[in-house]
Amino acid sequence: MIRILLVDDQNLVQQGIKSLLAQDPDLEIVGTLKDGRSAVTMIAELCPDVVLLDIEMPGMDGITATKYITRLAPDTKVIILSSHEDKNI
């Protein structure tokens, strides 16, 4: 079972991703959060294998959160989600 933490400030995006991931019995959503700061705070408690993280969120953005998450939980993989078309982001 792959434990996934989903972090996105948009409810519709969260619900859509959760619906897609729920179709795979090998995936478990261990939490859904709205910002990077919450993800950093909860990473040790939730112990996800993978964090799906929006790049642009209020408070702490996905890039900054990734820096903290990889220090606090080096075995946790981070996948950053973005709807931006700018390839420099």
Q: Which two tokens stand for residue 56?
A: 């642009």
Residue 46 CB contacts under 8 Å (≥ 6 apart), including other chains = 3, 5, 30, 31
Alpha carbon 22 to its chain centroid, in Å, reads: 16
Note the pTM of the prediction, 2 decimals.
Answer: 0.91
What's the rounded Cα separation, in Å, for the pair 5 and 48?
6
Q: Which of 22, 19, 64 is nearest to 39 (CA)?
A: 64
List pLDDT tens digits, range 33-61.
Answer: 999 999 999 999 999 999 999 999 999 99
> Looking at the predicted structure, is the pLDDT value of residue 65 above 90?
yes
Which residue is associated with the tokens 């996934």?
4
List pLDDT tens digits, range 7-26.
Answer: 999 999 999 999 999 999 99
Domains of the chain: 2-81 (3.40.50.2300)
Q: What is the pLDDT of residue 72?
A: 97
